[in-house]
């Protein structure tokens, strides 16, 4: 059963929220089967699937394509669509972009940073919005932890409060000191979803490729539950050897299939 934003909001303090990203139909299908309550189609797709160096290369058309694929794989799961770089620069531009992701299959949208006017315009227009503070990769100079100085921690804490006041129903907190995420989580009414933000958030999100061990770099705060890149290499090597040695396709299977026709 698909959880609406209100129900996700009510999970704060009741049940930790597991969130994973997905970009493709078969992965989304697996996440839905596992009962993951909320899937984020993040603009990380640009880095982990498309080979770009930053998320800034991702367009609204890319996101529509991936949101559509994930929706077809997970028809009964809440899907958050990420607004890519510059598609949320002003309230009206953001509204057009958000409507495109909703039309592609998203239930709610996420945007980075304290764009308070944009958030309240979307919320007033009836769109459920997820905020994102701490490290915000679309505008960050690098991917280091933020909020380490008192001043930066205060700025992020205030941002979190303002983003909530603008009407978001959930907040992603990325790569900040654990005690800062704990303070923010305690101060907000909406659930916080941490990534590299420690154990005190109301939920946790991982980029699916990091969780699968698919790629050649994984952030230190992520966990690899499998090693899919190793499996790809093994499959490709074995296939190649079997084709070269004429072991595949198997002669006997080929002949018996031909006989059946």
Catalytic (active-site) positions:
174
Residues numbered 122 to 141 that lie near ligand KIV (CB under 6 A) are: 132
In angstroms, the CA 64 to CA 61 distance is 5
Q: Which is nearer to ligand KIV, 44 or 164 (CB)?
A: 44
The set of residues, in sequence order, having a beta carbon less than 8 Å from that of 211 and lying 6+ positions away, is 20, 222, 223, 224, 225, 226
The set of residues, in sequence order, having a beta carbon less than 8 Å from that of 185 and lying 6+ positions away, is 173, 192, 200, 201, 202
Stretch that binds ligand KIV, among 35-43, 67-75, 96-104, 148-156 (CB under 6 A): 35-43
Least distance (Å) from ligand KIV to the CB of residue 196?
9
CB atoms within 10 A of CB 243: 11
Question: Contact between 205 and ligand KIV (CB under 6 A)?
Answer: yes
Stretch that binds ligand KIV, among 22-30, 38-46, 180-188, 238-246 (CB under 6 A): 38-46
Least distance (Å) from ligand KIV to the CB of residue 198?
15
Q: Which is nearer to ligand KIV, 44 or 157 (CB)?
A: 44
Question: Contact between 82 and ligand KIV (CB under 6 A)?
Answer: yes
Q: Which is nearer to ligand KIV, 32 or 43 (CB)?
A: 43
Here the tokens at position 148 are: 């380490």
Question: Contact between 195 and ligand KIV (CB under 6 A)?
Answer: yes
In angstroms, the CA 207 to CA 153 distance is 24
Stretch that binds ligand KIV, among 36-44, 96-104, 142-150, 240-248 (CB under 6 A): 36-44
Answer for which of 172, 180, 201, 212 binds ligand KIV (CB under 6 A) is 172
Q: Which is nearer to ligand KIV, 40 or 153 (CB)?
A: 40
Question: Contact between 42 and ligand KIV (CB under 6 A)?
Answer: yes
Inter-residue contact 97 to 60 (CB < 8 Å) = yes
Least distance (Å) from ligand KIV to the CB of residue 155?
19
Question: Contact between 202 and ligand KIV (CB under 6 A)?
Answer: no
Stretch that binds ligand KIV, among 23-31, 40-48, 139-147, 209-217 (CB under 6 A): 40-48
Q: Which is nearer to ligand KIV, 40 or 184 (CB)?
A: 40
In angstroms, the CA 166 to CA 169 distance is 10
**Residues that contact ligand KIV, how many (by CB under 6 A):** 12
Least distance (Å) from ligand KIV to the CB of residue 214?
14
Interaction site with ligand KIV (CB under 6 A): 21, 40, 42-44, 82, 132, 172, 174, 195, 205, 207
């Amino acid at each position: 059963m698909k959880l609406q934003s209100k129900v996700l909001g009510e999970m704060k303090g009741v049940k930790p929220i597991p969130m994973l990203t997905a970009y493709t139909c078969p992965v989304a299908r697996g996440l839905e089967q596992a009962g993951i309550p909320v899937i984020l189609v993040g603009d990380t797709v640009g880095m982990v699937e498309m080979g770009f160096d930053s998320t800034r290369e991702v367009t609204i058309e890319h996101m529509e394509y991936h949101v559509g694929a994930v929706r077809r794989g997970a028809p009964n799961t809440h899907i958050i669509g990420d607004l890519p770089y510059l598609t949320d620069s002003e309230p009206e531009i953001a509204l057009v972009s958000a409507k495109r992701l909703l039309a592609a299959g998203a239930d709610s949208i996420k945007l980075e940073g304290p764009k308070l006017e944009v958030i309240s315009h979307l919320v007033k227009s009836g769109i459920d919005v997820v905020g994102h503070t701490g490290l915000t990769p679309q505008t960050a100079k690098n991917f280091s932890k933020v909020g380490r100085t008192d001043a930066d921690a205060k700025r992020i804490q205030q941002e979190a409060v303002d983003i909530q006041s603008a009407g978001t129903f959930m907040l992603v907190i990325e790569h900040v000191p654990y005690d800062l995420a704990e303070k923010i989580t305690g101060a907000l009414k909406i659930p916080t979803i941490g990534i590299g933000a420690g154990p005190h958030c109301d939920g946790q999100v991982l980029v699916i490729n990091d969780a699968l061990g698919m790629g050649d770099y994984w952030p230190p705060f992520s966990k690899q539950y499998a090693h899919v890149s190793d499996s790809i290499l093994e499959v490709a090597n074995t296939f190649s050897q079997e084709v070269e040695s004429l072991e595949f396709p198997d002669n006997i299977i080929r002949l018996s299939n031909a006989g059946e026709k």
